[in-house]
Structure 1
Amino acid sequence: MGYEVIRFEGPVDEELICTICSGVLEDPLQAPQCEHAFCSSCIQEWLTRQPTCPVDRSPITPNQLKQVPRILRNLLSRLSIACDNVSYGCTAVIKLDSLHSHLQECDHNPKKPMHCEKGCGLVVPKDELKDHNCTKELRVVVAQMQMKMSEMISQMEEQKLALNEQKREICLLKEYMRSMRVSNPRMREIQATIENEDVIRWVSVLHPARVTRWGGMISTPDAVLQAVIKRALIDSGCPTHIVNELMENAHERRWPIGLSTLETRQLNRRQYENYVTKRIPNKQAVVVMACENQHMPEDLIMDPGLVMIFAHGVE
């Protein structure tokens, strides 16, 4: 629907009048061939009943409607119109293109958003402030929040059940494949490929680490420290089939020849900077995986990798 003509100051050119509603054009669109202009809502509603131009009956479809020329939009924007809230006491007369912004700030707008100053701080339409009950409204807000929280908890429980079911199915599948590979060389090969991909995928999500103090390495960690690092490995998503082996490789007794004694570690210290190391999340420890360290000498790396624990010096 267009704007009422009586709201405008001075005469309004006939070219700016919608022939459907007889108001001044609002968000105008025009027909593709005859170029007659209409309010957007007026012509859209008209075309739901008959697909023709209201003026000359030439055929039109909604998709054929187009924007009016800039000169017509400029003529509309220069018109002076009375505020929508004139009946509430507003005497402002503004340019048509400023009407929307004026209405948002108009002090006479009965629906202007206002902050309640009684204590709740909620935003309330101006004409509802006098009947606004803070306690009642806050109860509604709390009830809505509780409902949303209940929905979120339900969704999380459903997701948890779905994840547990997926994990169970994956475990069953792995157990099945383990039983198959014992007697089937092809299955052994497939299983090995899957396990290698699991390792590569896990390593790729770990953050790169930089060891700044190799002298802080703990070569003989006690059982408690090993248990803490093992839990961190598991929490990081480390594939279960290598967790125990990696933790065995956290002690110098399992390290390769180039790391097995203090003397060899001192001799090879300059080569440590060539290691590709990944941080075990939130711990002063790194993994040095064989798949990422093929460039290192054989006496400084081992499958599937090493766990190095430090007292300090890991960034």
Structure 2
Amino acid sequence: MGYDVTRFIGEVDEDLICPVCSGVLEDPVQVIPCEHSFCKTCITHWFSQQHTCPADGNVLTFTQLCPVPRIMQKMLLKLKISCDNSVFGCRAVIQLANLETHLRVCEHNPKRLVTCAVGCSLVMPRDELLQHNCVEHLHSRIQQQHSHIVELEKTSEDQKHQLVVQKRDIQALKAYLRTLRNSETNLHDLEDTAEHREVLQWVNSLQPAKVNHWDWVISTPDTAMRALTKGSLVDSGCPASIIDQLIENSHECSWPQGLATLETRELNQHCYENFVARHIPGLQAVVVMASENHHMSENMVLEPGIVMIFAHGVEDLLEA
């Protein structure tokens, strides 16, 4: 199904209109030999019912479909379109090539994932945040843990250790739940804890880093490389409370939206020089801590921080 023509700024060339849905071509394909173009979804559905060209009625087969010429693809990607979330207040007009990237970070997108900042850190669509209740969520987690315990109690002796861990987690959740019920203390007022001070002390012990080639980042480090990085973090005095999360955050699958794919990293490369990065001793790697990067947009940072490993080009800022 094509894009609604009314969403585009200016007149759209008729060659970019799908004859089936009358919308602007989406994921377009072309028919050989008549060279008519259609949305891939539209022509696939059409072929499920009949085997003729929707534009001229000639007999066709599915094997006669091919990608549209590159010049037509470029014409489509340069068209300016209003955001899908215009009905929710977004006034952005972007090139079709950048629409998908914009939608992932659009502040008006009701389905954009956000994190509960009140206390439970649950990730949910933005339109569900107003109805979210931390107490109810934690109650649900406790009930799930209880159900799991009942199941574990019926299993063999070698799973009893897991049972102990589950019970300990329940006690921690119950204690946290009591805190939420009996205190109105804002979560941000709790930052100055011994653990937080330990993290800050460690961060300040690391040398500021200069990255000469951000495009040399190894976004999918293997197990051996991550183990080596973990060892270096341990040797540097990294607090045990955050070290596993930092290692998890060394892979692009855990990175924030602005770094999660090669395409978004290329689009945001101009922002990298604004990162405050710390050199991980002995490695071509840096750690970008959220506590030092409040000036960066939320789609470029991650709690407690991001580990970025490079093929080459990392040095101490003071030596650069």
TM category, shorter: 0.3 to 0.5
Which structure dedicates a bigger proportion of its chain to helix? Answer: 1
Q: TM-score, normalised by structure 1?
A: 0.45
- TM-score of the superposition, structure 2-length normalised? 0.44
